[in-house]
Structure 1
Amino acid sequence: MMSKNFQGIYLPLMTPFHEDGSLALDKLANMMDYQINKGVAGFYVGGSSGEGFLLSEAERAEVIKVAAEVNQQRVGMIAHVGVISTDLTAQLADVAVKAGYDAISATPPFYYAFSQEEIHQHYVYLAEQCPLPLLLYNIPGTTGISFNVEQLLSLMEHPRIIGLKHTTTDMFLVEQLRQRSEDAVIFHGEDSMLSAGLFYGANGGIGSTYNIMSASYIKLYEHAQRGEMDEALKLQHQVNHVTDAILKIGLFQSLKYLMQLRGVDYGVCRKPFLSLTKEKKQALEQLMDNNACLN
């Protein structure tokens, strides 16, 4: 198993854009420095929070490279390289290898109704082509593909496939995988249920709202590691209150605006995401004023 050091709170790095939709990667240094100073264990680059599927392959490669240059090996780095095409996924993985990443991750090939065997061979090919550890990405809400424990264990027979990022409320899968594999690396990706994921055996978490509440999530993780369930749940309720509010406004736009209010410029989102209205910005300002976990 190639699972060393894959634990704790990994922050899904958001991609900053200018108002015209072009990349604003000069902002990454301040963004990443801020979160490293908060104590995150690493970054997950190019995923959903990074608007990865709104980027061209060339842009995704550029984000992967620039983020690694900014990090300078200070914390862990996982590159999301998932594309529907197997060959394009492998090409992005090669960018991550050359940039010095610790691991890669990839959504399954979706849109077309690929068979289980086709998905299996997609991942095995990727693991054969790329020397880095590979985390599967289970996010059925966007891909329409749900892994079961037998599929996961079968894939993890390959020595480079070490586990998964699990973004769903299915706690039974987490529990079953942990019971049958002590070595599996499980990053829980459902922000609102991080405490549950940790108690069921996840090694850590990767979630969008960590961007605005990384300190609270780190404390939650530490409480869970010490078995302090009551304290972890107390923090979970606090962050969930904020999460519930921003989901009603617009997740990624809210995260970037709240960081702007903190003095850290995250840029804006790329179309088709809409800009925040004046009323929504005012609601977020009030949310920040009234929630300690946002300060």
Structure 2
Amino acid sequence: MSIFTGSGVALVTPFTNDNQVNYKKLEELLEFHVENKTDAIVVVGTTGEASTMTEEERLEVIKFTVEKINKRIPVIAGTGSNCTKTAVEFSKKVEELGVDALLVVTPYYNKGNENGIYEHYKSIASVVKLPIILYNVPGRTGVNLSINLLKRLACIENIVAIKEASGNMSYTTEVARQVPELDIYSGNDDLTVPILSVGGKGVISVSANIIPETIHNMVMSFLKGDIKEACRLQLGYNELSNGMFIETNPVPVKEAMNYLGYEVGQCRLPLGEMYQENKEKLYGIIERHEVKKWS
């Protein structure tokens, strides 16, 4: 059984003006997503700025999210690290908080070889019972999970899915063809429908932070057989989705949310303020697409 089907939001972590986690706003965001048809919450991932948060902060955000969602939709927590021991210990702690699954990014910077990456994931999977979603994002990690490595990893019982964010549809098609044991979630908003077309189960979406119902409807339209509507939404909102990446994620999506009145605070350094010209481009895109403001 799939962890979820549909749209999982790669949730931002809201900060206060003094750069602390804003739990009041986080609760508001969680309720917003439940009300607007988001199918799963993904916390403390890339978009959630996990890399600039302490372990204590990440655990508290995960715990808070699990408690507030209260099993209404799945909660998936990012627990990856470039240090295997760190990822193992953190994954064990997170499992105790009651999440539904783990999202584990490929070890980054080290550029591990295939045997090393296999043992990394095996070490994590061996100490938790939760389902694990592999996260393949070579643009950030410097490593692409090969098809042969995915075949090996898919033999581990609780490694059940992959968030595929290589941007390479030829590769994704081969994953679907050769490693059917793994559910595929699009990690690129602009490739959601193409990935659904080769058997994908949904998307883990940055754009869903501001258009959650649209992303949900796109996936569900496709899965219900209304391909024309799914394509209309994909093509109609690609400009907006791509606008979330005119600078490094999550800088643009947080800027967009603040422009729309969400008041989620700024990113933590080393993610700085957007260039003014990019802000103006982003605001123009938002206005053209008539994105609803926070209410």
Q: Do both share a fold (TM > 0.5)? A: yes
Identical positions, percent? 25
Corresponding residue for 1:104? 102
Alignment match of 1:259 (pick from 257, 260, 278) = 257
Distance 1:68 1:150 in 2: 35
Corresponding residue for 1:125? 123
Corresponding residue for 1:9? 7
Corresponding residue for 1:219? 217
**Contact (CA 8 Å) 1:174, 1:202: kept in 2 or not?**
no
| Cα separation, partners in 2 of 1:115 and 1:70, compared to 1, 3 Å | same
Distance 1:126 1:15 in 2: 25
Corresponding residue for 2:41? 43
Number of aligned residue pairs:
293
Bigger mean CA offset, 80-89 vs 282-291: 282-291
**Contact (CA 8 Å) 2:134, 2:163: kept in 1 or not?**
yes
Residue 52 of structure 2 is aligned to residue 87 of structure 1 = no
Corresponding residue for 2:290? 292
Q: Which runs of 5+ in 1 are unaligned?
A: none
Corresponding residue for 1:20? 18
The offset of 1:280, in angstroms, is: 5.5
Note the alpha carbon deviations across 1:45-100, whole angstroms, 9 max, x for none. Answer: 11110011111222222222122122111111111100111121122212221111
Distance 2:142 2:276 in 1: 35
Distance 2:236 2:291 in 1: 7
SS in structure 2 of the partner of residue 186 of structure 1? strand
Distance 1:188 1:285 in 2: 26
| Cα separation, partners in 2 of 1:283 and 1:169, compared to 1, 3 Å | closer
Distance 1:185 1:178 in 2: 8
**Contact (CA 8 Å) 1:21, 1:271: kept in 2 or not?**
no
Note the alpha carbon deviations across 1:144-166, whole angstroms, 9 max, x for none. Answer: 11012221111110111112111
SS in structure 2 of the partner of residue 99 of structure 1? coil
Q: Which amino acid aligns with 1:107?
A: V
Corresponding residue for 1:185? 183
Superposition RMSD on alpha carbons, in Å? 2.1
**Contact (CA 8 Å) 1:135, 1:161: kept in 2 or not?**
yes
| Cα separation, partners in 2 of 1:160 and 1:285, compared to 1, 3 Å | same
Alignment match of 1:161 (pick from 144, 156, 159) = 159
Runs of at least 4 residues off by over 6 Å:
none
| Cα separation, partners in 2 of 1:152 and 1:13, compared to 1, 3 Å | same
